[in-house]
Structure 1
Amino acid sequence: MVANNGAPVVALLLLLVSAAARAAGDGLLQNGNFEYSPNKSQMNGTRVMGEYAIPYWKVTGFVEYIASGQKQGDMLLTVPEGAHAVRLGNEASIQQQISVTRGMYYSITFSAARTCAQSEKLNVSVAPGPESGELPIQTVYTSSGWDSYAWAFKAKRGLVSLIIHNHGEDDDPACGPLIDSVAIKTLYPPQATQTDNMLKNGDFEEGPYVFPNARWGVLLPPNTEDEHSPLPGWMVLSYTKAVKYVDSAHFAVPHGARAVELVSGLETALMQEVPTVPGRSYRLEFSVGDAGDSCVGSLQVRAYAGEGCTTVPYNSQGTGGHTRASLEFAAVADVTRVVFVSSSYITKWDGTLCGPVVDDVSLVCVSQQAPPSRRLLRL
């Protein structure tokens, strides 16, 4: 017999809904912004008590359902989009099943914020499969405290479970990170930006999902934390820092709709390896500018290719603009690394990190003939 309040029926419906897998497409996961709230019967204050209490999600450990404007001591908790988010305490996780295409690549984008812990990290993984990445979130790149992160994976099965986990060792489980707005995007093999461009995805148009209302871009983690880059063709080289993927809807972009902002100074490099012929000459061309995000100062990008190197200065007023640069070099190996790094650390008026924008990168061969190989003469 069902009680008058219908709580058992509601709980059963939520369980069935939560178990349904979402067919992967570009955009939010089902209840990816956590606006469908748990039933009050499965809550203890802010703590979520039922494993399937949050529609479409499975939770384990100390998970809280947070409303925007909620206070924690003297801290006012905000939510970047909508009215709700979740907080993961020590050894807590959220997960959702997603229907994907086996063998395809996907990128997950989600927003996260620190609360009171100082060295927070989030582990993102898919199951089944060994792929996982531990994303450091202790560096905050926005004045609001919220950043969006991207992480990529290759689907080993047609049905996978996305898991976001907080290892956490803080004495207070309520010091865990906040999570909001979880989305997915299919990553396709990058198309050549020009017929003779040897670089893949040189205009950065193929990349992770960008939230339409997010004005802070998407952070791309170092490849030590992500086996498959959410920016196809490119690798981010760093220990803990990231580069920022920016869009023309919210930033000044030199070319097309996407670009990369080097926000971590000398600690992070953007790199792609390209097959080359030793002895042949090549020309690397690219745009350097500012993202129109109030990043004011002397910006510098250092570009490396083979044994060639050039430094491109750009005096930024923080309102957008760019300059074109080039580097000619002779290949010395079968594979050449093209590397971009910001040679200085820049902060905005609010103290957050920023840097130069790189875009519209091309690499072309300017001499088709390699020098003749040396032959031994028989006397």
Structure 2
Amino acid sequence: MVLVVPEGSYAIRLGNEASIKQKLQLVKGRFYSLTFSAARTCAQEEKLNVSVVPTTEKSDWGVFPIQTMYGSNGWDSYACGFVADYPEMEIVIHNPGMEEDPACGPVIDSVALRVLNTPRRTRANLLKNGDFEEGPYIFPNASWGVLIPPHIEDAHSPLPGWMVESLKAVKYIDSDHFTIPNGKRAIELVAGKESSIAQEVITTIGKFYELTFDLGDANNSCEGSMIVEAFAGRDTIQVPYKSKGKGGFISGKLRFKAMTRRTRIRFLSTFYTMKNDGSLCGPVIDNIKLLSVRYPTRAS
């Protein structure tokens, strides 16, 4: 069996019930994100269990299914987040599988840890980290971005402020390898309606708000008709975009009246999109802002 290693000449294959681990000196109470590259070796449903020990939580671990490959070269990078409960902790990457073929098992390469700052809401934006500038580490040679897996709660998301509340991952991309509408980081919604991000904000009942955002394509040959759906509580808007796969962006806007003390802001892609090589792709969203408006012209 011949495997392609994304960086350097060597990688680690984890056999049945195998693990790799490393002890780290951390700052207690700080928030960290872990990024690693992984690939499956067989057609079976392979997965990885990533945990941080010791911890004060009952289950501070996550399972990463790697059956669905989002890239075309066989490798994907993944990210997860955690809070350091102790000054010395151990990161464990474990293969919980029991494959019949001993040659099977996920392959691990390029593991990195990054300290994350906690974003705050400002007068200019009621959303935290609306420009996605704070997020997991992206390997310099990884031209495929970093996947943020689904069902990660807000407190442990490697994308501070945001939740991935979908069945599939979203992709965190950078301006070194993709076209970004604003700043150096953005989100690509790579799995249609199964790929969404959300954030809950405090709102005043009866007040009007305006949600604005940029959407487009990442200049990664992702072509076709795209629609980004934006939700603010019960209100929604669909913004169409015709992608030529060469980069380009438009803006969307949703005005709404707050009906509750907390309003969930959510974004997803209406359609599934694939590149010619069969890899999943989708619209890029960035520069998301939420402001209260005193004299709205219309509430959508």
TM-score normalised over the length of structure 2: 0.95
1:161-198 residue CA offsets vs partner (Å, 9 max, x unmatched): 00000001211132100000000000111155x63210
**Post-superposition offset of 1:207:** 0.1
**Residue type at the aligned position of 1:101:** V
Q: Give the structure 1 partner of residue 123 of structure 2.
A: 195
**Aligned equivalents of 2:226, 2:143: Cα separation in 1:** 21
1:120 matched to 2:46? The reply is yes
| Alignment equivalent of 1:153, drawn from 82, 94, 102 | 82
TM-score normalised over the length of structure 1: 0.75
Query: Cα distance 1:80–1:342, how it changes in 2: closer, same or farther (>3 A)?
Result: same
1:327 matched to 2:291? The reply is no
Partner secondary structure for residue 76 of structure 1: coil
Equivalenced residue count is 293
| Alignment equivalent of 1:361, drawn from 288, 292, 297 | 288
1:137 matched to 2:66? The reply is yes
Report if aligned partners of 1:245, 1:261 keep a CA contact under 8 Å in 2: yes
**Aligned equivalents of 1:109, 1:211: Cα separation in 2:** 8
Query: Cα distance 1:95–1:324, how it changes in 2: closer, same or farther (>3 A)?
Result: same
Q: Give the structure 1 partner of residue 96 of structure 2.
A: 167
Radius of gyration: which is bigger? Answer: 1
Q: Give the structure 2 partner of residue 213 of structure 1.
A: 141
**Post-superposition offset of 1:368:** 8.7
1:58-90 residue CA offsets vs partner (Å, 9 max, x unmatched): xxxxxxxxxxxxxxxxx4301000000000011
Q: Give the structure 2 partner of residue 85 of structure 1.
A: 11
* Structure 1, gaps ≥5 residues long: 1-74, 370-379
What is the root-mean-square deviation of aligned Cα atoms in Å? 1.5
Partner secondary structure for residue 173 of structure 1: coil
**Aligned equivalents of 2:133, 2:18: Cα separation in 1:** 35
Partner secondary structure for residue 84 of structure 1: coil
Query: Cα distance 1:256–1:176, how it changes in 2: closer, same or farther (>3 A)?
Result: same
**Post-superposition offset of 1:223:** 2.8
**Aligned equivalents of 1:346, 1:102: Cα separation in 2:** 42
Q: Give the structure 1 partner of residue 22 of structure 2.
A: 96
**Residue type at the aligned position of 2:49:** N
* Structure 2, gaps ≥5 residues long: none
| Alignment equivalent of 1:248, drawn from 170, 175, 180 | 175
**Aligned equivalents of 1:366, 1:154: Cα separation in 2:** 36
**Aligned equivalents of 1:288, 1:121: Cα separation in 2:** 32
**Residue type at the aligned position of 1:128:** P
**Aligned equivalents of 2:124, 2:44: Cα separation in 1:** 47
Structure 1 runs of 4+ off > 3 angstroms?
A: 224-227
